[in-house]
Structure 1
């Protein structure tokens, strides 16, 4: 396998990982920020108040966007299977 092929495969894998992680984490971070601002404004220091909305948003994002995430992984996997002759030979 040439270094160019390896770098191409590695960059594609990294791109898929970053998109999948950010697709799930960014909404949770935004909700956590809103809840933290609310807690700071009202002086409420309850830990579960911050945890439950982030959990619900993360579950909703995975439930609604799961098809997109699975499709992305399947496309990447099929592309890797198609590139086996290029990588091996």
Structure 2
């Protein structure tokens, strides 16, 4: 395996992680911005107000997009195993 092959696998792995985790991270960011705006407007500084909605949003998005995430990870795994079986 050459350096180019290793870098290609690492690049594919990073891209797979970004694509698979993207929906959950985007939901957490959106909820976080909305809660921060709510807290700034109302001056309510409750600690649990920031964590519980984010956790519920991430769990909900993960439940809805779980098959998409699994498909991305499966495609990456098949790509890596295919490269191993052909000797890169």
With normalisation by structure 1, the TM-score equals 0.89
Q: Is the 8 A contact 2:20 2:69 kept in 1?
A: yes
User: d(CA) in 1 for partners of 2:23 and 2:7?
Assistant: 24
Q: Please, which runs of 5 or more residues in structure 1 have no aligned partner?
A: none
| CA apart distance, 1:14 | 1.0
Q: Please, which runs of 5 or more residues in structure 2 have no aligned partner?
A: none
With normalisation by structure 2, the TM-score equals 0.90
User: d(CA) in 1 for partners of 2:37 and 2:83?
Assistant: 48
| CA apart distance, 1:43 | 0.8
Q: Which runs of at least 4 in structure 1 moved beyond 3 Å after TM superposition? A: none
> Match for residue 14 of structure 2?
14
Report the number of matched residues.
87
